[in-house]
Structure 1
Amino acid sequence: MLMNTHEARLEALRKELRARGLDGFVVPISDEHMSEYVGGYAQRLAWLTGFGGSAGTAVVLADRAAIFVDGRYTIQVRDQVDERLFEYRSVPAEPIPAWLAEHAPAGAKIGFDPWLHGKPWVDACVKALADKDASMVPVESNPVDAVWADRPAPSAAPALVHPTELAGQSSEAKRSQVAEWLAAKGLDAAVISALDSVAWLLNIRGADVDRTPVALSFVIAHADGTAELFIAEDKVTPELRAHLGNAVTIAPYSAFAAGLGKLAGKKVAVDPERSVHAVYAALDAAGAKAVDLLDPTILPKAQKNPVEQQGQRAAQARDGAAIARFLHWLSVEAPKGAQTELSAAAQLRAYREETGLLRDLSFDTISAAGPHAAIPHYRVDEESNLPIEPNSVYLVDSGGQYADGTTDITRTVWVGPGEPRAEHKDRFTRVLKGHIALDRAVFPKGTVGAQLDTLARQFLWAAGVDYAHGTGHGVGSFLSVHEGPQRIAKAQGGQAGTGQELLPGMILSNEPGYYKGGDFGIRIENLVLVEPRAIDGAEGEYFGFETLTFAPVDRTLVDQTLLTRDEVAWWNAYHAKVEAILAPQLSGEALGWLKAACSPL
């Protein structure tokens, strides 16, 4: 029997492992920066297995292999990965270290690329394998790369200057903040590995990762306010050199490990969640002391300054008009039955591009018809593309990257000409009620996202249903659409979500949902900004949310009998503002549609 493509690739990898004296190898979706989204050169898991999700790991042993994904990808992994080649495993219920401990042979040498895994993960695997006298072996070069003949090269796109008038703060000022933080903690330097952290600190952007405007690079920031940028030489332009000035030295990307080696005797801050194992190994070999601390740019980056906040409002208003044009187009064309998930996604992108300011999408558009809407992280391609059927639910989750802001919005609509079922309207309205409850929340300083999460779920819980994803994630400023550490989600492991309190200037999504497998799905998502909230007689500081996203919500799916007077008032006030912001940007039939969509309940 002839081998299929992925079977041949798996066999080639096993042959390479045997040649290296390895009994197994771990293949994650990751890059040298622990990124969520990675460039084509780092898509080793997709090449090996066919899996196209953004989070997953394969473990290859001599006689068996497994692929580990979380609940977002339970359906997708079965559609894309051959079960004859890879067992399906679910994390966190079935952690990789435990699977290795059960299935790796005694004395096995399990290879891993130290530039693709965090130290805590490696330590957990080492501990799990100890009883079998098996070991984790760091490889000098990745064996997948050795058998991936047509592997893409890393992007050669130049790094771009992000002007201070958009950033709201100079790179020098940001580096001074980091220097003060280091001095206060008695540290000499900090390793900045995360691509969005490097971009924020130096006020640079790039085009090295699809959907995220970052440049492949590392920074070592020093306590005197200077910094070293490690970046491929072909990315460095005269404009970049002039922007960075004399206080930032530039070295080749490949010289980063050597740069770490020069920190002998120094105390160096390293973020264990954002720095790979190889960083720790290089510092240890140099005789430097790595101190585990949160990357010092993370919280300042999350708390948007006034310029970034205003840029986000402008980007959202522009993006909302594109969404309104799309929703009007959809209301006319979808009931005819000639549109598909792909054609709708293409039309939405076209409306965003007509702004003349779109840099990229902020993620691959989730254009989901009928049963596909029940897959929260569905991604359409030529093989999966479904028609948008009349008399069905259609969900679109999308976003744009603009120089002044990053957007992320979900709308769920009923495609006529018939009427939705009572079940559709009940579930949609319960999701809407949760969305409104979270949007209207007022909370004291010190509140973490997990303490607000129940507000969004309560009406679904009352009907005995729930959704299996978080309610809100952080969003960057012309950076990553998924930005930590702020998050609104259920408490996990006894901890309140991430444990990060919500602070003024943080941007989060508000996106409760409901999913009925094989039938339909619903999600309503806006972005919100944490802002101080003045309350007469308040004892202490209180915060609330400023809504940033403005586009009509589908009234066809609302069961008004389930809404309270206050919820109707929220709906009417929200849509009055939608019309005020978007109407000046629309004309003709689209403007008429908007006015009807925004009329009071």
Structure 2
Amino acid sequence: MTATSFPPARFQSFEEKADPAEVAPRLAALRAAMEKAGVDAFLIPRADAHRGESVPASEARLAYVTGFTGSAGLAVIGRERADLFVDSRYTLQAPAQTDTRLVSVHEVAGMSFDLKPFIPAGTKLAYDPWLHTPGELKTMAGRLEGHATLVPVANLVDAIWTGRPAPPAGAIEFLGHNRAGRTAGDKIADIQAQLAETGADATVLTLPESICWLFNMRGRDVPNTPFVLSFALVPQRGRPTLFLAPAKITPDLRAALQDVADIAEETELDAALGRLGASGKAVQIDPDSAPAAIAETLAGAGARLIEKRDPVLLPKSRKNAAELAGMREAHRLDGVAMAKFLHWFDMEAPAGKLTEIAIVTALEAFRREEETCLDASFDTIAGAGPNGAIVHYRVTGKTDRRLAPGEIMLVDSGAQYVSGTTDITRTMATGPASAEQKDRYTRVLKGMIAISTVRFPKGTTGAQIDALARQFLWQAGVTYNHGTGHGVGAGLGVHEGPVGIAPRYTLPLEEGNVISNEPGYYKPGEYGIRIENLLVVKQAEGFAGYLDFETLTLAPIDTRLIEPDLLTGAERDWLNAFHKRVRAEIGPLVDGAVRDWLDRATAAI
């Protein structure tokens, strides 16, 4: 089967979403709005009020003004200059998407940094309090003290946005017990018990993953992630209230939630917060995710604010038996699709005719053969040769590159199934590899195996084990500039806090956490290597007080790129056992040429 025989992609678009020619008139319109509002500069984050990794088209303000479509960024638009700040993932993408004659692009480590060098003294710096958190504003105000003043305003981009898309109004579904594992009522009771311990009379939930998990619901409001965009107010005693767009409030929705929650339109949230404040209630908010507008409304009405982490995040990260069963099923389904894809790739790549778009389209088509596959869990990263060294590369019609025989191919992808969420990276050979490529690939694999096989005492954090994945690269004087692993939701966000494997993850890993394991190596302008499996934290058998990992991912790792002399006997044994399991679990689900390929790809080394 050739790439051209696949139907057009449904999950992922390859169109170039940015038009630098639009930047100039939109900057001019925004500056006119700033003058009318009496401010000197305006902040445009890549965020909505729900802080999601994906935002609906109606909330893509940063892209509208600057053209930049990445998942993290901040623009400061002044009267005379415009600056766009992105992290290291987007240092190539951002300049290509914006008008660099008018917008200066800067690489920063995270979105918290000193703005003083970019705005004149005495600047009135305006912001939309629904798009920034209290924590962000506190940090920013401290750094700008004596130099600039922060001024809350109604969003100035909204005032000039012509042809703005309508807000999402996707359908809502509710999970059965076989998928959720616990009732919404039981989950709510647990959150209310947490509130009693902290002395809070209520908490305001703003993260869609927290609200969807708590109420056992899923939606289609944003790409890639089955979120329902909403707000929730959970009292210590009594019924929670779920605040939604009016178009989403249907008789079926009310019936589904009648036993556990009240329903209100999202325009009623301010009044509800005001009533809490007027009653002098203690209200818990997460200063790192709740909009500042919510904190300001509560405090202004007289509420006592308790700033603590969203109380849903930790219990949500500890997947129960039903959620883990769903995740295992999702990875079996994904393993079938990956076997078909990798077989297809090996048949097609040597001819030298494959393009990155053809590769993404083929993988998506194999996944779509499974009717319970709902969406991609993120836009597939398909980097041929030097594009593989761009960590978060997204192919478009403009950047599409042909894969030449002998080049390394990196494919990082995932899917949302009814049963769960997947995320997998494989780096594939298309011909003989150089000694350096084999060395780097094997060191990346050794690091992945080190994480996969580690046993650690309860209380250990992801920050503490991160170096295990890097040690073999460090021995060669190289490393990678991203985390080793992130949390993954069960039929929710493919990137989920609050645990993972990186220096920033300081919470202990706990039984039921699902995290990625994805060390890599990138040689700019030449090639990229990453190998990724998903893991679940479990009780270590026979070792009280210790935890280890179970691997969820079921797809072969390319052994043609391995330098065998670099592997220890134990590492070889792990790889052979992993491939034996892949063959045992996926083999009966495929046949013919795919089964023959799988047997070869999982043969012991």
- TM-score normalised by L of structure 1: 0.95
Question: Would you say 1:510 and 2:517 are equivalent positions?
Answer: yes
> For residue 9 of structure 2, what is the aligned residue in structure 1?
none
1:202-221 matched pairs, under 5 angstroms: 202-221=215-234
Q: Write the distance in 1 (CA, Å) between the matches of 2:412 and 2:348.
A: 19
Aligned residue for 1:515, secondary structure, equals strand
Q: Write the distance in 2 (CA, Å) between the matches of 1:451 and 1:251.
A: 44
Q: CA deviation at 1:463?
A: 0.4
Q: Write the distance in 1 (CA, Å) between the matches of 2:478 and 2:199.
A: 51
RMSD: 1.4
What stretches of structure 2 of length at least 5 have no aligned partner?
A: 1-19
Alignment counterpart, residue 324 of structure 2, candidates 290, 294, 309:
309
Question: Would you say 1:114 and 2:118 are equivalent positions?
Answer: no
Alignment counterpart, residue 48 of structure 2, candidates 6, 31, 40:
31
Q: CA deviation at 1:47?
A: 1.4
Question: Would you say 1:598 and 2:602 are equivalent positions?
Answer: yes
Question: Would you say 1:76 and 2:89 are equivalent positions?
Answer: no
Aligned residue for 1:208, secondary structure, equals coil
Q: Write the distance in 1 (CA, Å) between the matches of 2:138 and 2:524.
A: 38
Q: Write the distance in 2 (CA, Å) between the matches of 1:206 and 1:291.
A: 30
Question: Would you say 1:123 and 2:138 are equivalent positions?
Answer: yes
Aligned residue for 2:185, secondary structure, equals helix
> For residue 13 of structure 2, what is the aligned residue in structure 1?
none
Work out the number of aligned pairs and report it: 584
Alignment counterpart, residue 552 of structure 1, candidates 527, 551, 556:
556
Q: Deviations over 1:484-539 (max 9, x none)?
A: 000101x3xxxxx231100000000000000000000000000000000033xx5x
Q: Write the distance in 2 (CA, Å) between the matches of 1:246 and 1:446.
A: 37
Question: Would you say 1:362 and 2:377 are equivalent positions?
Answer: yes
- Larger deviation, residues 392-401 vs 183-192: 183-192
Alignment counterpart, residue 188 of structure 1, candidates 198, 201, 208:
201
Aligned residue for 1:468, secondary structure, equals coil
Q: Write the distance in 2 (CA, Å) between the matches of 1:94 and 1:397.
A: 25
1:108 partner letter: T
- Tell me if structure 1 keeps the 8 A contact 2:184–2:260: no
> For residue 425 of structure 2, what is the aligned residue in structure 1?
410
Question: Would you say 1:224 and 2:237 are equivalent positions?
Answer: yes
Q: Write the distance in 2 (CA, Å) between the matches of 1:425 and 1:210.
A: 36
1:321-470 matched pairs, under 5 angstroms: 321-416=336-431, 419-470=432-483
> For residue 14 of structure 1, what is the aligned residue in structure 2?
31
Alignment counterpart, residue 154 of structure 1, candidates 167, 173, 184:
167
Aligned residue for 2:242, secondary structure, equals strand
Aligned residue for 1:338, secondary structure, equals coil
Q: Write the distance in 1 (CA, Å) between the matches of 2:315 and 2:144.
A: 39
Aligned residue for 1:82, secondary structure, equals coil
> For residue 80 of structure 2, what is the aligned residue in structure 1?
63
- Tell me if structure 1 keeps the 8 A contact 2:375–2:417: yes
> For residue 524 of structure 1, what is the aligned residue in structure 2?
531
> For residue 151 of structure 2, what is the aligned residue in structure 1?
137
Q: Deviations over 1:354-406 (max 9, x none)?
A: 01111111001101111110011111111111111111011100000012110
Q: Write the distance in 2 (CA, Å) between the matches of 1:426 and 1:340.
A: 26
Question: Would you say 1:244 and 2:257 are equivalent positions?
Answer: yes
Q: Write the distance in 1 (CA, Å) between the matches of 2:168 and 2:158.
A: 16
Q: Write the distance in 2 (CA, Å) between the matches of 1:122 and 1:522.
A: 38
Q: Write the distance in 2 (CA, Å) between the matches of 1:344 and 1:128.
A: 46
Alignment counterpart, residue 188 of structure 2, candidates 154, 175, 194:
175
2:534 partner letter: L
- TM-score normalised by L of structure 2: 0.95
> For residue 494 of structure 1, what is the aligned residue in structure 2?
none
- Tell me if structure 1 keeps the 8 A contact 2:21–2:99: no
Q: Deviations over 1:325-370 (max 9, x none)?
A: 0000010112112211111111111111101111111001101111
1:8 partner letter: P
- Tell me if structure 2 keeps the 8 A contact 1:179–1:225: no
Aligned residue for 1:196, secondary structure, equals helix
1:498 partner letter: Y
Q: CA deviation at 1:225?
A: 4.5
> For residue 50 of structure 1, what is the aligned residue in structure 2?
67
- Tell me if structure 1 keeps the 8 A contact 2:73–2:111: no
Q: Write the distance in 1 (CA, Å) between the matches of 2:259 and 2:448.
A: 49
- Tell me if structure 2 keeps the 8 A contact 1:527–1:547: yes
1:138 partner letter: P
- Tell me if structure 2 keeps the 8 A contact 1:270–1:290: yes
Q: Write the distance in 2 (CA, Å) between the matches of 1:253 and 1:70.
A: 33
Q: Deviations over 1:275-323 (max 9, x none)?
A: 0111101101211111001111111100000010111000000111101
Alignment counterpart, residue 569 of structure 1, candidates 554, 570, 573:
573
Question: Would you say 1:579 and 2:583 are equivalent positions?
Answer: yes
Question: Would you say 1:40 and 2:44 are equivalent positions?
Answer: no
- Tell me if structure 2 keeps the 8 A contact 1:67–1:88: yes
- Tell me if structure 1 keeps the 8 A contact 2:208–2:230: yes
Q: Deviations over 1:19-69 (max 9, x none)?
A: 111100000110111222211111111111121210000001111111111
2:556 partner letter: P
Q: CA deviation at 1:246?
A: 4.0
Distance 1:599 1:103, change over 3 A: closer
Distance 1:346 1:17, change over 3 A: same
Alignment counterpart, residue 103 of structure 2, candidates 81, 86, 95:
86
Q: CA deviation at 1:125?
A: 2.2
- Larger deviation, residues 267-276 vs 247-256: 247-256
Distance 1:63 1:513, change over 3 A: same
Q: CA deviation at 1:83?
A: 2.2
Q: CA deviation at 1:130?
A: 2.4
Q: Write the distance in 2 (CA, Å) between the matches of 1:350 and 1:431.
A: 29
Alignment counterpart, residue 283 of structure 2, candidates 268, 271, 277:
268
Distance 1:592 1:293, change over 3 A: same
Q: Write the distance in 1 (CA, Å) between the matches of 2:480 and 2:120.
A: 39
- Tell me if structure 1 keeps the 8 A contact 2:462–2:499: yes
> For residue 14 of structure 2, what is the aligned residue in structure 1?
none
1:25 partner letter: F
Q: CA deviation at 1:95?
A: 4.7
What stretches of structure 1 of length at least 5 have no aligned partner?
A: 492-496
Alignment counterpart, residue 253 of structure 1, candidates 266, 291, 294:
266
Distance 1:598 1:223, change over 3 A: same
- Tell me if structure 1 keeps the 8 A contact 2:136–2:288: no
Q: Write the distance in 1 (CA, Å) between the matches of 2:188 and 2:134.
A: 26
2:455 partner letter: V
Q: CA deviation at 1:81?
A: 2.5
Q: Write the distance in 2 (CA, Å) between the matches of 1:145 and 1:526.
A: 41
